[in-house]
Structure 1
């Protein structure tokens, strides 16, 4: 399992600066006083910065060549041939200890191990380990994500750390989701197991097992993907009823009320009111969904479909949300045209939702409700204020949503 998100676009200068700032923040959280960044004694850890300190993406432990190589090889699946070549070059460099040619920046951490995240995790899991740290792009839900490696270089777990109100809530939600899914008889997909959950220095900690994403991939057929989504949809049972009489609608209206005083929120509320007048009596079927089933949150092997990042899991939502979300995220990833991706996804609503048993009369409504749900999430999380690439809904999602609702 690798909860690391990869993006097709290159880092901008602004994003690079934010990553550098975020790196400093993360180090201060993981190694608080009396730990210090820099030379000192005793040394807790030494990291190589990939690719460099100006554009940090990954910190890998420098003490062991085999552990460092595993940290790079298993941290994320490259999205292009060039990215794979760069990764392989870094792996070769750390294996042969010629990192000075590619990785010139190092970070040393000194102080008592007991005060560090390394000490906490080693004690909680009762095993020796090394930590590799992912430095992600700006998002409201960005949080420290640590890859945990054994002394032999085995990736055995990933740790998410909730540092603020939003990320703490998400880490708790993922803990609850994985715990619940562990009791379901899922046959079409594999999810991580909870290895440890707790609090450290006021932060929420979740350690989950590593899914073997580094194994060879197989082509994923639409049929297999749909079967896995249906496996999740029914994991807590189904309900049926009119939209405006559902628990889902009641919850959605509550979330809208919390963002309705903002410019984009008021436009969203107006669109939802119009949607209710037109389709409020439409009967829908409700079940569970992953909440962020995107191409980068899964890996298809010959004998297993691995799916991770369950922090948005929810029950009682209109069936088919996962299919619409996956299609939209896939199109945005492939084209970079978010507004065009929304348009194209809505045009495919019939095709996407038919396998979920969604009645023809309810398919466009379901796709529009998904867009509302996604917009509410962005506004609630304040993605625009966090600098997220798609945080400003008025540039892509809202115009399409409002127009399509008006055309109903």
Structure 2
């Protein structure tokens, strides 16, 4: 732990993770933030947070308004976290049970608003509490380095420590689009009930536009949910349930006749003409390569028929859990309809390689081929369809990378330009 009192400054002026989170959660200049200081005259305090472990190395903002809520913010869903993180949060949660006294070694962030001002207008937590029925809520927030593709997320708790929801904040074009997409996906999934093998999604509690941001509040996961192992075998029945949403298997269509290919081609054309985050010209050249890749994809696989359906869009072990014998799936922000069935299986292999094992894009692409080779037949994929799914998925992934960069998130260095290089090499073989 780090002791000592931080300077009495507004953390929103900082360039680190604490500054990034503070600006997203408290964007209105009428809200006064003070670390290690006092509430200014003419302001009234509305919330206090322990900055753990220090201002310079902040990792958590823990609410100080209720010991039970503070402890819950550190202890809830710990079973889903890596062992070292779990141990740290458990120790901090024990201190939080004593409230401000237990967390006294850490700096305090005080939030205040002008006397007489509308708290529900200025403070997101108060706005969400009103939208969720008026029960007072306290918020906790993890802090990590600034990331234009990441969304600050408030864990909302009642005063007695009951989880109430997760508020995801879309603060730039890229993250606003992701928050809006997940809200739309969860609204649509309300109709998917009683479908055998379909994973249980969290519910959408409310969605709002606030201070130029998109905010979606997702219901809490079941308290006893457990993450699936990193080496969990693919759950084919669940993947098919996601793709079909309780309907009969779709009639196979040729890739050339699909709206998926039309959408892919249109996005590649936009990438060829759009500038990205101050690198116009570079983006256009990459987009031209994507246009060429779509043309090759069409020549190679246009006459191949395949079933189309929905996909989760980020089907990976760390977005899956089990509870009461059911599979639970969260983070539906990349979900969408009308993609070749098998995309989630391909994504699972690609991300396990790229993220869990830290392998380069070329190795991750080979992992897709291997995964589809082992399990694709259970999805109705013969050799020709497996090749279509793999090639189309990799191009979809590069275009996702471009969409995020175009929306201000910057390029994913693991995927650009490496993934385009991989796609072109595959097309030349």
Bucket of the pairwise TM-score, normalised by the shorter protein = 0.7 to 0.9
Q: CA deviation at 1:375?
A: 0.4
Aligned with residue 119 of structure 1, among 119, 126, 137: 126
Secondary structure, aligned partner of 2:355 = helix
Alignment partner of 2:76 out of 68, 74, 77: 74
Spell out, residue by residue over 1:13-69, the C-alpha distance to the aligned partner (whole angstroms, 9 max, x if none): xxx96424412422432xx23210013242111112234322333312022222111
**Deviations along 1:70-123, whole A, 9 cap, x unmatched?**
11122665653322222222112222443345xx23211011533211221111
The 3-state SS of whatever aligns with 2:252 is: strand
**Selected match of 2:191 from 183, 194, 198:** 183
Query: Quick one: which of 154, 166, 169 aligns to 2:162?
Result: 154
Equivalent residue, structure 1, for 2:102: 98
**1:258 corresponds to:** 270
Unaligned runs of 5+ in 1: 1-15
- Whole-angstrom distance in 2 between the partners of 1:384 and 1:167: 8
| Residue 379 of structure 1, CA deviation | 0.7
Q: CA deviation at 1:302?
A: 4.8
1:232 aligns with 2:242: yes
CA contact (8 A) 1:132 1:148 kept: yes
Q: TM-score normalized by structure 1?
A: 0.86
Of residues 319, 329, 332, the one that matches 1:310 is 332
Q: Whose relative contact order is higher, 1 or 2, with alpha carbons under 8 Å and at least 6 apart?
A: 1
Residue aligning to 1:397: 419
1:370 is aligned to 393
Residue 3 of structure 1 corresponds to which residue in structure 2?
none
Q: Evaluate the alpha carbon distance shift between residue 216 and residue 142 of structure 1 in structure 2; reply closer, same or farther with a 3 A threshold.
A: closer
The residue correspondences of 1:168-179 to structure 2 (distance < 5 A) are 168-179=176-187
User: Alpha carbons of 1:329 and 1:140: their partners in 2 closer, same or farther (altered >3 Å)?
Assistant: same
* 1:44-55 mapped onto 2 (5 Å cutoff): 44-55=46-57
Residue 354 of structure 1 pairs with residue 374 of structure 2:
no
Give me the whole-angstrom Cα distance separating, in 2, the residues matched to 1:259 and 1:151.
Answer: 48
Match in the other structure for 2:260: 248
Q: Distance in 2 between matches of 1:389 and 1:85?
A: 31
Structure 2 regions of 5+ residues with no counterpart?
A: 1-13, 274-283
The Cα offsets for residues 225-262 of structure 1, whole Å up to 9 and x where unpaired, read as 22221111001753421111111100111111111242
Question: 2:213 is matched with which residue: 203, 216, 219?
Answer: 203
Decide which moves more: 290-299 or 18-27: 18-27
Work out whether residues 229 and 317 of structure 2, in 8 Å CA contact, stay in contact via their aligned partners in 1. Answer: no
TM-score, normalising length from structure 2?
0.82
| CA distance 1:378–1:18, shift in 2 (3 Å) | farther
In structure 1, the partner of 2:366 is 343
Aligned Cα RMSD in Å? 2.6
Aligned to 1:156, the other structure's residue is in SS state strand
> For 1:220 and 1:300, how far apart are their aligned partners in 2?
13
Contact 1:191/1:307 (<8 A) preserved:
yes
**In 2: Cα distance, 1:79 partner to 1:330 partner:** 17
**Helix, strand or coil at the partner of 1:260:** helix
